[in-house]
Amino acid sequence: MLEIEESRVDKLTELFYRLLNGRPVEPLELPPEYPDDEFRQLVGYVNRFLREFREFSEGMETLSRGELDFALGRGRLGILQHLKSLQGNLRHLTWKTQQIAGGDFEQKVDFMGDFSVAFNSMTRQLREAFEKIEKQNRALADACEEIRREKEKSDALLLNILPVRVADDLKTTGRTVPETFDDVTVLFTDIVGFTTLSSRLEPKMLIDELNEIFTGFDLIIERNGCERIKTIGDAYLAVSGMNGDSGNHAENITDAALEMVRFLAARNRDSRLRWEIRAGIHSGRVVGGVVGVKKYIYDVFGDTINTACRMEQNSEPMKINISEATRAALGDHYELVPRGELEVKGKGGMRMYFVSRRREDFSV
Amino acid sequence: MFKEEREELQFDWKMIDDIGEGRPNLGPGMSVAVYRLMQFTLRDVLIREYGVAEADRIFFESGKRAGEEFCRHTLEECGDFGEMTVKLQETLRELRIGILRFERAEVEDGSFTITVAEDLDCSGLPVTDETICTYDEGFLSGILGVYFGRPFDVREVDCWCTGDRICRFEAKKRG
Ligand SMILES: [Zn+2]
């Protein structure tokens, strides 16, 4: 019959009382001389339980603070093992979350009951949302590209109609103010006998012909640093010196006019229809600006334009007739044929010259 | 092929792969008990013949060889690490080897904590305070070694047999 002192049983009772009331407890101790009996065995088990329970309790406390990175000791107590599994699962979920946060939507959670279902459905929804956003981004990028292309087209179109400066002004401020150009040179050309010839031709053919000739003129004008202002029927108006680099404006446009005559002469050699132009040039001041609100047209105004027109009217087929002002601007770089003073309506007598060619020692 | 003397290891996946033709009625599956019967009788004899340490080394080396071939055969096309973990997890589940989970992965440092629940080798065995999944240690070492092109040390720190519900492995790139 095992005999135990009452005080030892009391200690055991007190230990469990404290434990059950959430109070700190210390392991029981038996003196070394205490016999190796059933009671010593019981105390051994109680102390082992206390140790594992404390391990569990401390682990639970750490876990409840959201900390996953702690070491749990070994033990066979069921609750300790379950805690360890819980810790492992939470660590795994944390790792999975990091993977998914990094954009890996293939990650799934298995065999974790409700967790798996919720987690995997969250991942699926994230993936769908992500794919939707990506799709929208792609559509947006496509739309931007489309707008950029359209803008390029409209810019090109605007440049076709308007001088660069004016187009830039219109694009940035939405308006332009008329500008005065004190020193420019104006070229007017007209097709000889156009009215007569045009009545004999089919309209389509006529337009094709004009289109081809004026396209040729446009290229020549551009190449010589001048600007085509407009065509009026068979008349062609270009100006040089409006782009700031006005130093050679008279020469530039005279070179262009000579080239236009050569271009037409060459074309006449191979073409069924033969066209000739009269050209007139005058230098002076013009005012340039955009007219119209919906259909922009850049136009130039002033007496210089009228005078250039008079020079053209006083010219002859395939000849370039220039005024005194232009002659002065050209200096002695061209071979000229003086024509004396000719009567101009509303102006009186004006000195005029035909331009034969650029002098070779001043060739460009 | 199978019973030649050898200095170099000769295992090739082709040696085991035609199960469909060979077992038209019974198929590729079998009982875990049979697998364990083989593993633990083999361990038994190896320990008697060569001692515990040598038997463990043989188990680790065979596991490693298996892991290497498994990686080449199954995970070869995986691109980044995330994709590899997904595929590895899926395959081990499909083959019913165990429920593998990553708890921690520091890819740059080559340092990983991996758990296997319901492990083929040990889950349900008597608790003996020993970690016994030496073959798994080798298996993981082989997989990581081939995938990262560097040798890996893998150690089982928790095991069903030490009283835990899952086996936990610490893997670290060598050097
Ligand atoms: Zn294990």
The pLDDT of residue A180 is above 80: yes
In which band, very low, low, confident or very high, does the pLDDT at A240 lie, cut at 50, 70 and 90? Answer: very high
Which are the contacts of A124, defined by CB distance < 8 A and separation ≥ 6? A105
Same domain, A220 and A358: yes
What's the pLDDT score for residue A292?
75
The pLDDT of residue A364 is above 80: no
Rounded to a whole number, what is the distance in Å from the CA of A116 to chain B's nearest CA? 13
DSSP reduced 3-state for B87: helix
What's the pLDDT score for residue B99?
93
Same domain, A207 and A298: yes
Same domain, A352 and A216: yes
What's the pLDDT score for residue A359?
87
Average pLDDT over chain A, rounded to an integer: 89
- Give me the number of domains chain A comprises: 2
Same domain, A320 and A200: yes
Choose between A1 and A300: higher pLDDT. Answer: A300
DSSP reduced 3-state for A292: coil
Q: Name the E strands within chain B.
A: 99-106, 111-117, 152-158, 166-173
Judge: B127–A84 Cβ closer than 8 Å, yes or no: no
Q: How far apart are CA A294 and CA A291, in angstroms?
A: 9
Cβ–Cβ under 8 Å, residues B132 and B155:
no
Judge: A110–B89 Cβ closer than 8 Å, yes or no: yes
In a domain, A352, yes or no: yes
Q: How far apart are CA A290 and CA A177, in angstroms?
A: 8
Q: How far apart are CA A183 and CA A235, in angstroms?
A: 23
In which band, very low, low, confident or very high, does the pLDDT at B80 lie, cut at 50, 70 and 90? Answer: confident
Q: Which of A101, A135, A164 is the last residue of a domain?
A: A101
What's the B34 CA to ligand 1 centre distance in angstroms? 18
Rounded to a whole number, what is the distance in Å from the CA of B114 to chain A's nearest CA? 9
In a domain, A167, yes or no: no
What's the B44 CA to ligand 1 centre distance in angstroms? 17
- What is the strand order of the sheet B152-158 is part of? B99-106, B111-117, B166-173, B152-158
Same domain, A227 and A340: yes
> Measured between alpha carbons, how far apart are the two ends of chain B, in Å?
36
Q: Which of A75, A101, A127 is the last residue of a domain?
A: A101
Range A206-227 average pLDDT = 92
Is-above-0.95 flag for pTM?
Answer: no
CATH of the domain at A274: 3.30.70.1230
Same domain, A325 and A200: yes
Same domain, A351 and A257: yes
Same domain, A207 and A331: yes
In a domain, A20, yes or no: yes
Q: How far apart are CA B169 and CA B163, in angstroms?
A: 15
What's the pLDDT score for residue A280?
96
Same domain, A185 and A269: yes
What's the pLDDT score for residue A258?
95
The pLDDT of residue A169 is above 70: yes
CA A102 remoteness from chain centre? 29
Range B130-151 average pLDDT = 94
What's the pLDDT score for residue A159?
75
Closest-approach residue (CA) in chain A for B157: A74
| Residues having C-beta closer than 5 Å to ion ligand 1 | B 122, 133, 159, 167
Given phi > 0 = left and psi -120 to 50 = alpha, else beta, which region is A102?
alpha
What's the pLDDT score for residue A248?
83
In a domain, A160, yes or no: no
Q: Count Cβ neighbours within 10 Å for each residue of A329-338 and write b for 16 or more, e otherwise.
A: bbeebbebee
Sign of the CA dihedral with A239 first, then A245, A247, and A248 last: negative
Q: How far apart are CA A99 and CA A8, in angstroms?
A: 56
Interchain CB contacts (distance < 8 Å): A and B: 58
Judge: B164–A81 Cβ closer than 8 Å, yes or no: yes
In a domain, A142, yes or no: no
Cβ–Cβ under 8 Å, residues A155 and A171:
yes
What's the pLDDT score for residue A21?
92
Interface of B with A (CB under 8 A): 80, 82-83, 85-86, 89, 93, 99, 101-105, 113, 115, 117, 127, 129, 158, 162-166, 168
Provide the residue range defining the domain that includes A41: 6-101
Same domain, A94 and A217: no
In which band, very low, low, confident or very high, does the pLDDT at B27 lie, cut at 50, 70 and 90? Answer: confident
In which band, very low, low, confident or very high, does the pLDDT at A72 lie, cut at 50, 70 and 90? Answer: confident
- Model ipTM value: 0.80
Question: May I ask the CATH architecture of the domain B14-173?
Answer: 2-Layer Sandwich (3.30)
Q: Which of A65, A81, A101 is the last residue of a domain?
A: A101
Same domain, A225 and A93: no
Range B100-108 average pLDDT = 92
Instruction: Give the model confidence (pLDDT) of A14-41 as tens digits.
Output: 999 999 998 999 999 999 999 999 999 9
In a domain, A110, yes or no: no
